[in-house]
Structure 1
Amino acid sequence: MATINYLIKGEKNATNILMRFKNGRKCDLTASTDLKVEPRKWSAAKQKVKLTADDNSKDYINNKLAELETFIFDEFNTDNSRGEYIDKHWLRKKIAKFFNRPVDETAIDEVFFVPFMETFIKNAPSRIIKGKNKTIAKGTITKYNTTQKKIEEYEKRFKTKLKFTDLDLTFYDRFVNFLSQEQKINLGTIGNYIGTLKTIARDAKLKGLPVHPHIEHPNFFVPKITADSIYLNDDEINKIFNHDFKGVERLENTRDLFIIGLRTGLRISDFLRLKAANIKNGYIEIETQKTGQTVTIPLHKQVKAILEKRNGFPRAISDQKFNEHVKDLCQVAGFNEKVQGSKINKETKRKEEGVFEKWKLVTSHICRRSFATNLYGKLDNLTIMAITGHQTETQFLKYIKITNTEKAEKLKDYWNKQSVEQEIEEKKMKVVK
């Protein structure tokens, strides 16, 4: 028969209340609850704090002791029926779980969120992504680290240490407000932080840690914004391809890299590392760095011309240099029209919405977006997705930036084509008669 008793040791100073757990002759275990009481206020007969008028903590301690007793019996019944070994460490671990605190300093990542994040990030490079047979990408790990930094800034601001049980809707509202109002971060970036936080919290939940159930509440959502992202149509791409940059090597080299990105739909992490080995029977074949998916892309005539002119691929440069130079070449090429969009303010380091000259908004992301948008409606979506490597149509459609006017023009062209075909068919029928 299992029994629980409380006892104290010492006669003068405040001392720990100990729990003694016995299961017949099988085990006799003692562990501290870390609840303290002055010996003169303790009733050994009733195993609780005496009901004296001058003690304001008596009700709290006595209630906790009663709740802890029920909790330990429930945990024992569950674990013992599963064959788990019941020893002193088990009892210490269960008491710590009840009070939501680490068993010792080595177990702080079982209670506090940031230490768990550190462990999660440390193990990320060796973790294999299900279904892809590859490890976590460096860019994803960078995203984990920036999210951890924001959580630590939040803790410092509010003088707290987040536990898993703190990840509720109150925390969500406070964290989002801290990022948006105090740090002036745009909603899309906040969404990235929340999405990463939820990913790590769900991993903790799978490991049996006491994550607050609000993490799955509909109101604990990932904020998203519909960006006014620009793209280049075929005429604009041809204008860049044919522009005379008057022998300025950095612009000519960047222009050729830009055209390859625009005509392949690859991410910058992929098109900047293309080599002769990636050309096979007139196609580009490459395993994408982000997803590990192998894509096959036919050589566009402009890409062929660049390879023939240079006897290979252009000189590779860094992502940062590419994004600097591509703005310069688009300015030189005359992309000065004012358009709605967003760009990073170099002084505040924050993304700002507004109306800017088009060349100021051009980055490497425009390559993939332009490729998908220019082919949309001309090929079926699944064919385009096979080239871009998008795994779902929802992901793919995010890249499509056709305006409402352009969509209306497509419908107009379709109806005109339908009318012409109908007229031809009617003429054929008249001839047959």
Structure 2
Amino acid sequence: MSHYNFYLRENYVNSNGKSPILLRYYQDRKNRIQINTKINISSRYWSKAKNSLKNSSEIPEEVKEFERIRILAETIVNHYKSNHKELTKEKFKQHFLKNDLSEFSTQEVEFYNELDEFILERTDQVVADVIKDYKSLRKHLLAFDEFNKSVMTFESIHYEFYKDWTTYLANHATKRNGEVGLRNNTIGKQVKNLKVFLNDRMSSRRIPPIDLKDFKVVQEEIDHIYLDDNEITAISKVKCKKNSVEERARDLFVIGCMTGLRFSDLIRIKPDYIKNGLLEIRQKKTSKKVIVPLRKRAAKILVKYDNHAPQIKNYDFNRVIKLLGQKANIDETVELEHKKGNRKVITKYKKFELIGSHTCRRSFCTNAYLEGIDTQLIMKISGHKTEKAFKRYLKLSNYEAALKMKEAWGI
């Protein structure tokens, strides 16, 4: 089956220490063609896992050009697929070198061209996680096209499409781990991002008005765990080899539970941000400045790293912290309930299986609340804008809620 991918030719390095990115198109298993994109980068900006250029602010021009070339290649391939035509390697190269999308001015290309352009426009305006969400939207729309044997156009977006698409997402969409069917909150995020895209195109008068009032963004309260102080202490006492990934994950986790910072902010801590026992940092997600008093446990760990955050990738952190939770015997059984469509699904986990980077922030907020610290003070530190948003982070058990009420009533 025809497809394309990108490849960094690391065995060739020019005088500037950069290697070329190559585009490979596979007509089938035996026939392929290789094209130099004329983008040269240092290998540190290349993701081998994704065969893709990292979205780094250090190389904005290369990121934009890579995205433009990706859009061009995907448009060519999708056009031939949707029209059930064979795309030979010679035709692919011919189209690619012409660098012209005008001959693909069909409705389906128009829709995805607009979506691709929207994503490209947002690259310098929003954080990388948001761009990842927009690309996820694109993936699910293309998969719906394939499943439904249809072609996505702006004219096809109406309430019947909304019902068909959300039903597909709930029952047929495939997740990265191979599991079929998305949860309601994930579907809600897809709908929200589709509306963001469409409203942007309508506001700029690039497309005619579309009635989106019945495109509901479904949200449900999700059960998440938090760790109490004893559990955090248990993880902090797990023995790790010096300078190991386990040690860095353990230390960063404790700092996170003591400060309430998101992972994207935690990892950026450096000496300039620490003054008079306070950690001052501008949040990457919101650009809002927060000031966090450094508790002794966190300050002591940071001194160990010369007041820099211990460095670890988010993926490795989430993987390793679960293993540390297991070693700390945080293994009580937890039941979580969520919805897929109209079905309630209850899944049992060991508590350590649910520990991740978000556990830090939830643990900080919940423990501070249980200690009797005023909600508004906690929000100033956590950076939550509204009490409603803040209270979604509170993960009190029924028992803890009862104790809190008992304390308030003086009984």
Tell me if TM exceeds 0.5. yes
Summarize the Cα distance change of 1:309–1:280 in structure 2 as closer, same or farther, 3 Å threshold. same
**Alignment correspondent of 1:120:** 118
Aligned residue for 1:164, secondary structure, equals: coil
**Alignment correspondent of 1:223:** 218
**Alignment correspondent of 1:368:** 361
- Separation (CA, whole Å) in 2 of partners of 1:286 and 1:211: 41
Deviation at 1:164, TM superposition (A): 2.1
Give the counterpart of 1:291 among 286, 304, 326: 286
Contact 2:366/2:394 (CA < 8 Å) preserved in 1? yes
Contact 1:373/1:402 (CA < 8 Å) preserved in 2? yes
Aligned residue for 1:368, secondary structure, equals: helix
- Separation (CA, whole Å) in 2 of partners of 1:212 and 1:308: 56
- Separation (CA, whole Å) in 2 of partners of 1:111 and 1:207: 19
**Structure 2 residue identity aligned to 1:115:** N
**Alignment correspondent of 2:196:** 199
**Alignment correspondent of 1:159:** 149
**Alignment correspondent of 1:22:** none
Unaligned runs of 5+ in 1: 1-103, 127-134, 344-351, 420-433
**Alignment correspondent of 1:275:** 270
**Structure 2 residue identity aligned to 1:388:** S
TM-score (norm 1): 0.63
Deviation at 1:112, TM superposition (A): 4.4
Give the counterpart of 1:182 among 172, 193, 202: 172
Aligned residue for 1:165, secondary structure, equals: coil
Map 1:238-317 to 2 at 5 A.
238-245=233-240, 249-313=244-308, 315-317=310-312
Map 1:29-428 to 2 at 5 A.
112-126=110-124, 135-183=125-173, 184-208=181-205, 209-213=207-211, 215-217=212-214, 220-245=215-240, 249-313=244-308, 315-341=310-336, 354-376=347-369, 378-416=372-410
Contact 2:108/2:151 (CA < 8 Å) preserved in 1? no
Contact 2:234/2:328 (CA < 8 Å) preserved in 1? yes
- Separation (CA, whole Å) in 1 of partners of 2:304 and 2:126: 37
Aligned residue for 1:312, secondary structure, equals: coil
**Structure 2 residue identity aligned to 1:281:** N
**Structure 1 residue identity aligned to 2:349:** F
- Separation (CA, whole Å) in 1 of partners of 2:337 and 2:248: 26
Summarize the Cα distance change of 1:375–1:315 in structure 2 as closer, same or farther, 3 Å threshold. closer
**Structure 2 residue identity aligned to 1:374:** N
TM-score (norm 2): 0.67
**Structure 1 residue identity aligned to 2:126:** I
- Separation (CA, whole Å) in 1 of partners of 2:368 and 2:385: 17
Deviation at 1:161, TM superposition (A): 2.3
Bigger Rg, structure 1 or 2: 1
**Structure 2 residue identity aligned to 1:357:** K
Aligned residue for 2:279, secondary structure, equals: strand
Unaligned runs of 5+ in 2: 1-101, 174-180, 339-344
After the TM superposition, which of the residue ranges 400-409 and 296-305 deviates more from structure 2?
400-409
Summarize the Cα distance change of 1:107–1:394 in structure 2 as closer, same or farther, 3 Å threshold. farther
**Structure 2 residue identity aligned to 1:142:** K
- Separation (CA, whole Å) in 1 of partners of 2:246 and 2:169: 38
Contact 1:165/1:210 (CA < 8 Å) preserved in 2? no
Aligned residue for 1:216, secondary structure, equals: coil
Deviation at 1:108, TM superposition (A): 6.2
Aligned residue for 2:155, secondary structure, equals: helix
Contact 1:111/1:164 (CA < 8 Å) preserved in 2? no
- Work out which structure has the larger RCO, using CA pairs closer than 8 Å and 6 or more positions apart in sequence: 2
**Alignment correspondent of 1:99:** none
- Separation (CA, whole Å) in 1 of partners of 2:400 and 2:373: 16
Aligned residue for 1:376, secondary structure, equals: helix
- Separation (CA, whole Å) in 2 of partners of 1:139 and 1:182: 24
Summarize the Cα distance change of 1:173–1:256 in structure 2 as closer, same or farther, 3 Å threshold. same
- Separation (CA, whole Å) in 2 of partners of 1:410 and 1:225: 25
Contact 1:114/1:152 (CA < 8 Å) preserved in 2? no
Deviation at 1:272, TM superposition (A): 1.4
**Structure 1 residue identity aligned to 2:384:** H
Deviation at 1:206, TM superposition (A): 1.2
Summarize the Cα distance change of 1:252–1:391 in structure 2 as closer, same or farther, 3 Å threshold. same
Deviation at 1:353, TM superposition (A): 5.1
Aligned residue for 2:329, secondary structure, equals: coil
